[in-house]
Amino acid sequence: MLNDNTTASDPFKKFLIWYSEAQTGKEGKGPKSYLISSCFRLLRRVLSVIFPWSSLFRPDIATLATVTPDSKPSARSVLFKGLVGGGFSFYTDYGSDKGKELDLNPSAVMLFYWSLPPRQVRIDGKVQKLSREAAKLYWESRTRVNQAASAAVRQSSIISGREELIEKTGHIELIYKGKPIPCPDSWGGYSLVPEMVEFWEGKLDWLHDREKYILNNGCWTKIKLAP
């Protein structure tokens, strides 16, 4: 485990440690703690199969906040897809509401909350579009039904109901029967390149830890904040 000084200049390193611990649990020191955390990890694995969409087992779920053209906040969940191009990546439909908002204003916030241990990471920055090659590569890793649904309708467009969705998805499946479903032009990734990263960790005595990394002229400085 790295200490504060080691991570002081690099919020990415700290994020990756926390992200990994959100998946496996924080490891204690000594054989007893090791045994407890191993049992805990096993229990998590079993529960994650039973409840695959529980946020407890999905540390990759993040809230993405954007800004509407009339300066209102706009937020939704997205799946974090790793550190790419110096930022936090996710994939979406560029023609969705969030895509249109990011076209006009690239400022965004990504927020992670993990409950075991209780931690929050907030990333403020500006998005950059990922390459078409990256979009195609990720598209190929998605399930066929997922691809068909994304190719069938533009995300955030108004539809008459579930029947329309089923019909249009079925239509795509039919058109591309026996062939790969191509990645739509409007579908791709973003990388949220941070200007500020804030880490919050809950403590049992309610004296929580909060620290903020701010990017100044290419260098990260760290400040402590009252929780």
Ligand X SMILES: Cc1cc2nc3c(=O)[nH]c(=O)nc-3n(C[C@H](O)[C@H](O)[C@H](O)COP(=O)(O)O)c2cc1C
Which residues here bind ligand X, judged by CB under 6 A?
Answer: 61, 74, 76-79, 90-92, 96-98, 155-156
Residue 7 vs 130, nearer CB to ligand X: 130
223 forms bridges with which residues in the sheet? 212
CB of 43 to ligand X, least distance (A): 22
SS3 breakdown of the chain: % helix, strand, coil, rounded to 5?
Answer: 35, 30, 35
Compare residues 14 and 192 and give the one whose CB is closer to ligand X.
Answer: 192
Residue 53: CB minimum distance to ligand X, A: 7
Long-range Cβ contact pairs of 77-86 (< 8 A, separation 24 or more): 78/110, 80/110, 80/112, 81/138, 81/189, 83/12, 83/15, 83/16, 84/130, 84/134, 84/189, 84/191, 85/128, 85/130, 85/191, 85/193, 86/191, 86/193
Strand, coil or helix: what is 104? helix
Q: Which is nearer to ligand X, 71 or 216 (CB)?
A: 71
Could you tell me if residue 173 is left (phi over 0), alpha (psi between -120 and 50 degrees) or otherwise beta?
A: alpha
Based on CB atoms, which residue is closest to ligand X, 46 or 158?
158
User: Which CB, 20 or 74, lies closer to ligand X?
Assistant: 74
- Cα torsion 99, 101, 106, 108: sign: negative
Question: Closest approach of Cβ 195 to ligand X, in Å?
Answer: 22
For the CB of residue 223, give the shortest distance to ligand X in the complex, in Å: 31
d(CA 211, CA 155): 36
In the complex, minimum distance from the CB of residue 216 to ligand X, in angstroms, rounded to a whole number: 31
Judge whether 184 and 151 are in contact, CB under 8 Å.
Answer: yes
Instruction: Closer to ligand X by CB, 23 or 37: give it.
Output: 23
Single-letter residue type at 52: P
Quickly tell me which residue has 């695959």 as its tokens.
Answer: 52
* Smallest distance from ligand X to CB 201, Å: 23
